[in-house]
């Protein structure tokens, strides 16, 4: 395993901005507020969106931990280190996987207050009740939705990166490249068991867990980049 990054310096010789790294992995699910900020478990600091995860020793972090929620149980999903394979992958290799139109959005999604986002309301006549589409939001569950328009650019479509038969959605895998851009060094795969299990990578002082796509083979995707 490459230990050259233990100096805690990035490619331009300055201290890594681990806050920038961890922000790439934060969740936005309103029902999982513990994932909105990094959290500590047994002197390691984690961030996860339930599909990707990053962790490092608490001694490495350069930001304040202020997560007041009970952390999710992440230790049990981290596989044991059992291999060492440096991945030779560049941004130029990833760019051809940008096959979908890119959109920019204005406004925000606001749930309908009348049906509380369910899209259904209960109607009552005498002693009869029945659920119908909410008349306020017309069954959508939203009183307002973000508005999108094409930018003219391209973004990642239904494309994957293939590592030993494990297919990773390219937008998830691209986080490894972003972390390498911040910290410098190499992308090293340090754990692999089977195509349907999570794979552990190391970039600098961080370990990163990616979960593979749970279905499909090469024929199901618009584009496949075979790395290993």
| pLDDT beyond 80 at 206 | yes
In a domain, 150, yes or no: no
Distances (CA, A) of 55 to 17, 46, 99, 124, 135: 14, 4, 31, 52, 46
- DSSP state letter for 181: H
Report the percentage of the chain scoring pLDDT > 90. 50
Mapped onto helix, strand or coil, the DSSP state of residue 26 is coil
Domain that holds residue 76: 4-99+155-226
In this structure, the answer to whether residues 141 and 164 fall within a common structural domain is: no
Question: 206-210 and 52-57: which strand pairing?
Answer: antiparallel
User: 51-72 in b/e burial notation, b at 16+ Cβ within 10 A?
Assistant: bbbbbbeeebbeeeeebeeebb
In this structure, the answer to whether residues 86 and 187 fall within a common structural domain is: yes
| pLDDT beyond 80 at 48 | yes
What pLDDT does residue 5 have?
40
| pLDDT beyond 80 at 218 | no
Distance CA 112, CA 133 (A): 12
CATH number at residue 43: 3.10.150.10
In this structure, the answer to whether residues 65 and 160 fall within a common structural domain is: yes
């Amino acid at each position: 395993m490459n230990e050259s990054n233990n100096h805690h310096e990035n490619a331009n010789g300055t201290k890594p901005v681990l806050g920038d790294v961890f922000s790439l992995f934060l969740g936005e699910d309103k029902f999982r507020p513990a994932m909105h900020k990094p959290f500590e478990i047994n002197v390691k600091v984690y961030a996860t969106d339930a599909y990707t995860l990053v962790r490092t020793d608490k001694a490495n972090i350069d930001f304040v931990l202020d997560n007041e929620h009970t952390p999710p149980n992440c230790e049990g999903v981290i596989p044991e280190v059992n291999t060492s394979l440096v991945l030779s992958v560049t941004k130029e290799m990833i760019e051809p996987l940008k096959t979908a139109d890119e959109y920019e959005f204005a406004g925000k999604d606001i749930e309908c207050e009348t049906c509380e986002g369910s899209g259904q309301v209960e109607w009552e006549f005498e002693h009869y009740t029945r659920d119908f589409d909410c008349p306020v939001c017309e069954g959508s569950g939203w009183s307002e939705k973000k508005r999108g328009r094409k930018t003219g650019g391209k973004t990642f479509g239904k494309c994957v990166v293939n590592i030993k038969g494990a297919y990773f959605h390219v937008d998830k895998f691209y986080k490894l490249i972003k972390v390498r851009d911040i910290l410098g060094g190499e992308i090293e795969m340090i754990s692999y068991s089977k195509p349907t299990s999570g794979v552990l990578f190391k970039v600098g002082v961080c370990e990163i867990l990616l979960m593979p796509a749970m279905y499909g083979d090469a024929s199901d995707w618009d584009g496949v980049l075979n790395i290993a």
